[in-house]
Structure 1
Amino acid sequence: MSSLAHPGIQKVTTALREAGAAEAALGVRVLDQDARTAAQAAAALGVPVGAIANSLVFDADGEPLLVLTSGAHRADTRLLAELVGVARVRRADPEFVRAATGQTIGGVAPVGHPAPLRTVIDEALAVHPVVWAAAGHPRAVFPTTCARLAALTGAPVARVARDEVGSAAR
């Protein structure tokens, strides 16, 4: 894939433009290879793994919860359940992710979903002047900031992890 013509990428760039983030839409990059993990994305971009905004979809008592977490963190499901006020948060299966986002695991963007998703953003992303988020395809990413992600999604910025996992993060 060498162009931005993929339908998933188009949905994300349209959503970014409509949200007033044209600069992010213009910054979408298509990588040479899939970057389904934070470590892969960081290596392809030459940035710290913590500057990758992992888009993780969870099942929060049957409803989708999108967590944009630093690639240097592993989201803590008990902490997330407390944060959003549900009994249980667990990792969603690929079908649940696709139904909620219209995107596949590894390419889930913060925007461009069929309907708005409840979202939480990892406070650890705020230490990076630029963070990279998926753009609707496992090879597509765009540069942004933690503050811009919060503005785009209407999500709170909070602690979502209890420990650092370094470059082994996914």
Structure 2
Amino acid sequence: MSAPPAPPVPAGFSRRGLLAGAAGLALLAATAGCTPGSSGEAARETAEQVDRLAAQVAVQEAVVAAYAAAGTADPALRAELAVPADQARDQLDRLREAAPSSAASSSAASSGRASSTAAAPALAPPAGGDVRAWLREQIGTAATSHATACVEVTGARAALLGSVAAGLRGHETALA
């Protein structure tokens, strides 16, 4: 005796397929900012958030400068720092692209906003000091600053700051 034939496949959408499609559309609408009650105004950043991001550009500029200073202070360390220094510069470029204007970062840094978020590193490691430890401290301070700012901004810029903070934590760990 053979097994009974499989029931015919219904034409059109199955209930499961319809529900999966509806869930996908809801997700797409939410990521596009089309959720009920949202508006273009709600998605825009406040001036305070823009200032915070500009301050983080200055913080990352300080990280890039710290890498350069560490490489100058300890030429033996320079080769080891080449890859993370390049990554820090790439992170700086991404932050600059996300910042509304380069002028904003300069004005935020000069007005002291950057120093309230994170202390800028000294231009050079202390003479005769542990260059690696000094650089690790500068990177850790910047990572904390980016992570703190991450929760104070919204959207893709928050994700970018979180990503940069995580990358710097990796640098900090590698220097340990």
What is the TM-score when the length of structure 1 is the normalising length?
A: 0.29
Q: Which has the larger radius of gyration?
A: 2
Higher strand share: 1
What is the TM-score when the length of structure 2 is the normalising length?
A: 0.28
Higher relative contact order (CA 8 A, sep 6+): 1
